[in-house]
Amino acid sequence: MKSRFKAILLRKDGDKQTADDVELSADDLMPGDVTVAVSHSTVNYKDGLALTGRAPIARKFPMIPGIDLAGTVDSSSHPGFKPGDKVLLNGFGLSETHYGGYAEYARVKGDWLVPLPAAFTPAQAMAIGTAGYTAMLCVLALEDAHVTPAKGPIVVTGANGGVGSVAVALLAKLGFKVVASTGRPEEESYLKSLGASEIIARAELASDPRPLAKERWAGGVDSVGSKTLANVIAATSYGGAVAACGLAGGMDLPTSVAPFILRGISLLGIDSVQAPKPRRIQAWNRLAADIDPGKLAAMTQTIPFSGLRQAAQDILAGKVRGRLVVEI
């Protein structure tokens, strides 16, 4: 382990949050039984909120942001990991209550770590990241709810974002007709290259929702929330299900009980932060089997550590297509 290493450190003075480039030592890291030499991280919407201070993601200061990391075990007192093991980590309070992935080293609890699937390099794992892992959790939830391709199409909102891009690719490979909702019509060819069969404008799902609408799809993956999610639910066919995993459009949900009691719709809440380890391993194993490496590469951009601040601004402004990998 290096005696000094680079990191981004969030600090707060009154109401003002800063994000500073710093050098730290091993003594500065938080408690844990595994130290990981971090090679790659990523930028999710939540990371953008944390880096800019636009939302109170960090709950203690100082804090190293970055909700994802991948790398190599440097040292370990955990029985499940040894130096040299390739690992990844999503969530579990990284960037909120525990130092995250925007540093050359992270000391964490071994129980949080997932062995890196043999199918992926660390960079590919971070091309998936929390966004793609969340998309897989959504797909698993829809499968558990018995939503199948034979029952009809699946709508994916925020389709050109990280969760949406991976969800489109996964669902298309699994045989679903995918309806991709986006506010960026210029991304039509990109979304169709991932497997989308139909593109609809974000505005179609942004109006004030009715309790029930014409049945259009058997289910959905929603990362937007608010009116968008309400409209998705209202247009879901009998016995369908919608996986909700985001709030880019707001935390409110202006819907009614009508879709649930008249059509038997299920609303499936997806939490990626505290998901139990067996479900995490299931999701990553399915990603290794179901994601097309070529499509993953097509939706991924790689940026240097120095590009993190601009990337945070861009992802909040809706300027990021697909996934961003950060070379730590």
What is the pLDDT tens value at each position of the chain, 328 positions in all?
Answer: 999 999 999 999 888 999 999 999 999 999 999 999 999 999 999 999 999 999 889 999 999 999 999 999 999 999 999 999 999 999 999 999 999 999 999 999 999 999 999 999 999 999 999 999 999 999 999 999 999 999 999 999 999 988 999 999 999 999 999 999 999 889 899 999 999 999 999 999 999 999 999 999 999 999 999 999 999 999 999 999 999 999 989 999 999 999 999 999 999 999 998 899 999 999 999 999 999 999 999 999 999 999 999 999 999 998 888 899 999 9
- Are 110 and 35 in contact by the 8 Å Cβ rule? The answer is no
Distance CA 29, CA 109 (A): 12
Task: Please state whether the predicted TM-score (pTM) of the whole model is above 0.75.
Answer: yes
Instruction: Give the phi and the psi of residue 260 in degrees, each rounded to 5.
Output: -80, -35
E strands in 25-141? 34-42, 68-76, 86-90, 105-108, 114-115
> Domains in the chain, please, with CATH?
5-116+299-327 (3.90.180.10), 129-269 (3.40.50.720)
Determine what percent of the chain falls in helix, strand and coil, rounding each to the nearest 5.
35, 30, 40
* Amino acid in position 31: P
From the CA atom positions of the chain, what is the Rg in Å?
Answer: 20
Distance CA 138, CA 223 (A): 10
